[in-house]
Amino acid sequence: MGRKERENEWIYKTTAKKRFGLTDNQIRLAIEAGLVEAKQVRNPNYSSGPPATILKVEDIVKNLDRIAAFPRLSDRERAARRVYADRTRARKGLAFWCPRCGEYVRPLRGSRMFEAYYVKAASEDEARRALLTAHYRHAHTEYERAVGELREKRYRRYEQLREEGYDFELAWQIVDEELGNLEQEVAS
């Protein structure tokens, strides 16, 4: 490839990251410092998505040492990684081996008890006991089937009330009065 062709060559930011071993933060800082010319173009893979960034290859090659000297991660990225590592350690700390199913069980994403433990609103013993109980209930009992049947029963009654002309809110209110609310029914 001749020098003139390289001067006009542009590559996508993801390609530049792979080809030159750079990170988003390094490229962002290089663009801000004026070391690399960049353009926003229509995203070739996802036309309704955010625009893609293309970079001038000649600028990257010419300033590669300076760009590579920039920090690989931004302060925000470093902080996010610390939080992720802390949460992973906490999740592993609550994990247990279930003798019944023979599986290693970790708290699920979205677990309220894990979140309570993580923010120090619950002790490790409380959290582990609650997570063990939840695992046993969901994995080793008929709980899930019972909840599914109850939801189905409630929805059939709701549809019946809607066909009779009741509006959305009133239909659900009647269902709750007749069949109890789902959380109350499951708890009993």
| pLDDT (tens digit per residue) in 3-29 | 555 557 999 999 999 999 999 999 999
| pLDDT (tens digit per residue) in 82-109 | 999 999 999 999 999 998 889 999 998 8
Q: What is the pTM of this model?
A: 0.58
Q: Over 70: is that where the pLDDT of 146 sits?
A: yes
Mean pLDDT, range 167-181, rounded to an integer: 87
pLDDT for the residue numbered 185:
57
For the chain, give the mean pLDDT.
89
Q: Cα–Cα–Cα angle for 172, 173, 178, nearest 5°?
A: 95
Cα separation, 124 vs 133, whole angstroms: 14
pLDDT for the residue numbered 183:
59
Nearest in space to 52 (alpha carbons), one of 13, 102, 85 = 13
Domain ranges of the chain: 3-69, 75-140, 143-187
Structure tokens at 158: 């709701």
> Which run of H or of E encompasses 11?
strand 10-12
